[in-house]
Amino acid sequence: MNSDLNCIWRVIYIMLPGIILISCNPQKQKAIPVKHIIEIKEMRFQPAELSVHAGDTVEWINRDFVDHDVTEENKKEWSSTPLAAGKSWHRVITKSAGYYCSIHQVMKGKLLVE
């Protein structure tokens, strides 16, 4: 009986530091996905550069009266449809990307996954 109890205590003693380490290490915890807003206003993405965590959602809202879109810049891996005034589009972000408005090609933005 005593030897059983001793055995259990020994197991707990050995595992405890590991359990504490895992539960306290923030890098091992998955961040809860959050939603970020980027306004398209006065012909600019605002903010033009945004840091997010993988899995976060980014929503772009067109506040201008002309249409805009949101298109991945490097290989055009993703793109919204044209967004009329007041319309929005969202996407779950998994990796860093540069993007632009393919209608007004000088309008550019950047998403940085931390």
Binding site for another protein (CB under 8 A): 42-44, 64-67, 103-107
> Which CB sits closer to another protein, 36 or 104?
104
Minimum distance from residue 107 beta carbon to another protein (Å) = 7
Backbone angles phi, psi at 9, to 5 degrees: -65, -35
Contact 84, 65 (CB under 8 A): no
> Which CB sits closer to another protein, 96 or 105?
105
The kind and range of the H/E element at 20 are helix 2-24
Contact 28, 65 (CB under 8 A): no
> Which CB sits closer to another protein, 56 or 64?
64
Residues 77, 99: Cα–Cα separation, whole Å: 10
Minimum distance from residue 62 beta carbon to another protein (Å) = 12
Contact 11, 3 (CB under 8 A): no
Minimum distance from residue 96 beta carbon to another protein (Å) = 24
> One-letter amino acid identity for 35?
K
Minimum distance from residue 67 beta carbon to another protein (Å) = 7
> Which CB sits closer to another protein, 13 or 65?
65
